[in-house]
Amino acid sequence: MKLWLDGGLQDIESARVSVFDHGLTVGDGVFETVKAVEGRPFALTRHLDRLTRSARGLGLVDPDLDEVRRACAAVLEANPMPLGRLRITYTGGHGPLGSDRGDLGPTLVVALGATARRPDSTAAITVPWTRNERGAVTGLKTTSYAENVVALARASQQGASEALFANTVGQLCEGTGSNVFVVLDGEIHTPPLASGCLAGITRALTIEWAAAKETDLPLDVLEHADEIFLTSTLRDIQAVHRVDGRALPAAPGPVTAKAMRVFDERSGDDLDP
């Protein structure tokens, strides 16, 4: 297996990043996860736009997107697989042990892992911890994901694959690595970006392709929504068949099933929508 580091392909066994990399010491970095089907990345332009936005939000120099594109192509070509998780990581680079950043320049890693197609439905839980809709890094896809690690571990312990957060004012926000949608009276709703959620690429495509509305929603909408689904790069659209103690045995319900069909069709038609 090969990954991209320091401007070229390297063997994963011997590739090395400094132990003083600011991404490692303080989580000063941003990332993207891109789906790759038969070696072809999906929605790469949108992912690279968000990578740049996240980097700017942290005050990192803009990533060299020509290099990132070359890196993605090289890594995909070197590691053929049916379904891949292409991971772009861009950090503050070698730095001091505190929160101040060094000036030796950023680190770029592009790596690929094999993954399997997700099931059409899954279980989720809610967690008591909040997303901060007013934080310095709200809306940025940073490598500071420890809160998500903790919440996802709790979901796993409870037999679920995702944990859903409210924000500080009790509105439904997002999952650890997904956006959340609900169906109410036949209409699809998802929290607005002001809720503090990540501007998910699958979320944006679902809003466009399935005519979903952005609506402030209380967390307890999950107790009575007719249907619930998650969106993310590797889930696409995935129905929720249980949330906490509530079963939704019909999942995917009719509205979700239709959105899933439309998403499959549209994403198959255009690899870089």
Ligand X SMILES: Cc1ncc(COP(=O)(O)O)c(C=O)c1O
How does 90-100 read in b/e, with b if 16+ C-beta sit within 10 Å? bbbbbbeeeee
Residues 23-82 that bind ligand X (CB under 6 A): 33
Which lies closer to ligand X via its Cβ, residue 2 or residue 126? 126
Least distance (Å) between residue 201 CB and ligand X: 4
- Smallest gap from Cβ 245 to ligand X, in A, equals 24
Interacting residue with ligand X among 107, 142, 233, 267 (CB under 6 A): 233
Q: Is the dihedral of CA 113, 116, 117, 122 positive or negative?
A: negative
CA distance 178 to 191: 12
Quickly list H helices, the chain.
Answer: 22-26, 44-58, 65-78, 146-157, 201-209, 254-269
Tokens 């066994």 found at: 13
Q: Report the candidate in 131, 271, 248 with the shortest Cα–Cα distance to residue 182.
A: 248
> Judged by CB under 6 A, does residue 240 bind ligand X?
no
**Nearest distance from residue 82's CB to ligand X, in Å?**
19
Least separation in angstroms between residue 27's CB and ligand X is 14
Cβ 96 to ligand X, closest distance in Å?
28
Least spacing, CB of residue 150 vs ligand X, in Å: 13
Instruction: For residues 39 and 232, give the distance between their C-alpha atoms in angstroms, rounded to a whole number.
Output: 19
Site map (CB under 6 A) of ligand X, residues 193-232, x = contact: -----x-xxxx---------------------------xx
Per rule CB under 6 A, is residue 178 in the interface with ligand X?
yes
179 belongs to the binding site for ligand X (CB under 6 A) = yes
Residue pair 229/174 in contact by the 8 Å Cβ criterion: no
Return the structure tokens found at 112. 């690929």
Q: What's the CA gap between 81 and 98, in Å, rounded?
A: 40
Binding mask 122-161 for ligand X (x = CB under 6 A): ----------------------------------------
Binding site for ligand X (CB under 6 A): 33, 174, 177-179, 198, 200-203, 231-233
